[in-house]
Structure 1
Amino acid sequence: MKVLFTTPILEHPAAGGPQLRIENSIKALSRASELDIIYRTSEPAETVEATGNFFRQYASEYHTLFNAAPEDFLSRCISLIEKISNRLFNTRIVKHAKYILDHVDRREIDVLWFGYGNISYPLIKYIKAQRPNLKVVCDTDSVWSRFVLRELPYVKGTRKLAVWRAGRKKELEERAWVELCDVTTAVSEVDAEYYRNIAKDPSRVQVFSNVIDIDSYRRPPLPPAGFQRPSIYLAGSFGHYHSPMDTAARWMLEEVFPHVLKTHPNVHFYIVGRNSELGFGHLTGPNVTVTGRLETVLPYLCNTDVALVPLKFESGTRFKILEAGACKVPLVSTTLGAEGIPVVDGEHILIADEPENFAMAIVKLLDDKELAANLAVNCHDLVNKNFSVESLAVEAKQILEYLNRD
């Protein structure tokens, strides 16, 4: 089958879990189909050149649909007019739809696959109105309404109302697209069950897992210069006070880490990832290092003693667990942090939800090297067996066979 994969976000190297999902989805789909890619972006051409060079190897045709960023006064004025026009007449959606449908016709595409389907509903809706018989996949990296609404217990006042309204809006979109699209993908059975419960035809919801490219983790790199041990490690995409990762990092720093320091005063806490320096850079000191965005997190992850997934609210499945498992690094997670991944507390990872218990779990792994090694090996075996690009290619073939059943 010929598949056209289109996404508004594409990045290599991947800076976070959603970008990593897109990369590995493309790798899997290229094994299961004849794949074309259209990247819809507002980034300037020079910043996406390396990305295009990487992804072309997986596509029969690769195209970038630019929304040019304004560079001078006249261009900024034109851009403002375009923004107003887009709000009133959906001009950007119409432009993107025409470009995509022209490609569908020229290449005789069988399936149109939307990466970042959670944020592509307006474009999906428009295209389906133009071509109701075109097979369309809405690929989701989470249940976005859960991602939003799970923040409610942690906010107050006007933000609480804003979160509720944003979550409710997303719920309505989710109900709409599971009926509109021929397939809605979910990253786990947990997410799939949500979509099936709101779908008239539950068979149109298919699991398309978060996975990693195991080969990328087979050679552990050396630690960065000055790397300190014993150490614990938290990685993710940060950026604003209320984000899941910022909330998790504050919880660690304020409520968990002090308990760890009581028994291990020399332990070092690495906070790694995009925009981590914005909220936590000022805390860098004898026991804390905040790196900001890195080309790759592997020098830190592969050489730390314990990886952490202390999430209080989120949705989807965590690449943090998959990557630590691939690198044979022992893990401590909250229950929600491990959602959708069939890990067992005490067999693959340690799970704790209260600050003192989370700290005790970290200390246990720092002190008991045999336990830490056994958990790491078990988690590695689980990830290697169930969460590889090869296993995702099998899921891709099953989805395409389902779409081709007519």
Structure 2
Amino acid sequence: MQFTYSNPTRLHFGQGQIAAIASEIPKDKKVLVIYGGGSIKRNGVYDQVVAALSEHQWQEFAGVEPNPTKETLDKAVAIVKQDDIEFILAVGGGSVIDGSKYVAAAAHYEGDGWDIMTGQYSVKSAVPIGAILTLPATGSESNSGAVITKKETATKLPFRSPEVQPRFAVMDPDVMKTLPERQLINGIVDAWVHTCEQYITMPVGAKVQDGYAETLLKTLLEIGQNFDNRDNDTWRANLMWSANQALNGLIGTGVPQDWATHMIGHELTALWHVDHGRSLAIVQPWLLRNQIEAKRAKLEQMGRNVFGLEAGDDLAERTIEAIEVFYHSLNVDTQFADHGLTHEEAVNTVVKQLDEHGMTALGESQAVTLERSREILEKALA
């Protein structure tokens, strides 16, 4: 293993921590608070933000969608440029935080912000960001990545830059109390697949990364199995922390990473607005079956250490079945039929999108070619 690892985001975890933003953001900075559909005004988070920013000069931008769009975010970019905003506070889940990262980077660029997503522009600086997490799922509050959708072309692309790593993040599990069941389930699945993308690859002897990934998976499995007990401080705290640790860079440091499930899943979201977490559950089991020989050793390790399955020649196959059973126990489908197209049309549409977006050799070994993606989609799209 050879790697450089740093996570500079300062985390304030626990009840009542929103007040910490008062000292985290310099009082002489002009602040833009970015949030989504307004749930923060119903659950008390907005009032806590207002109180914490009582000595700051600030304004707000609302309306960031789930799977944030360039079209909406560019309006916030214009505000940042016009009003000389010096600090961005993202208040929401992964979509709001991802969107704020785009705004922060695009505001320091004179061209079209989409150039960041296509790689035509490399981010050199960005407006500083802080985050208040309201929905545990993506880990965006303490990583440098974001995924943005261009509504006009149904294109969903990721970008990554250390310049948009949040300076601090507040994680108060109390904010989860009013979340709908569907969003909590999506968060469990999202964190689960994030962990798998960095774990179900090939053995490289990284004992700590493997062991921590397995601990996260066992924790998420237990959280899902105890979903009926979700109105519980310990349950909420463990989900929020697990989702953060799944994608803060630690378990993926020094090991191969996959992410093919995400790249294919992004197309389902962009085309048919499938919830991000649910798009991953639709793709992952079929991708694992398609790539089972390359992933057999790690699947067997997962079967033993996460699910407690007995040894046998079919252990890898039974591990994939156990993953599917876990999703189904949460009422999450592992096939998608609501695309409104014939099966052949739906598969061809996604493959065409993958080709246009350069997703032609995915996975830790670049083995998921367009042909392999087609085979996966033949099973995933009902």
TM-score w.r.t. the length of structure 1 is: 0.31
Higher-Rg member (1/2) = 1
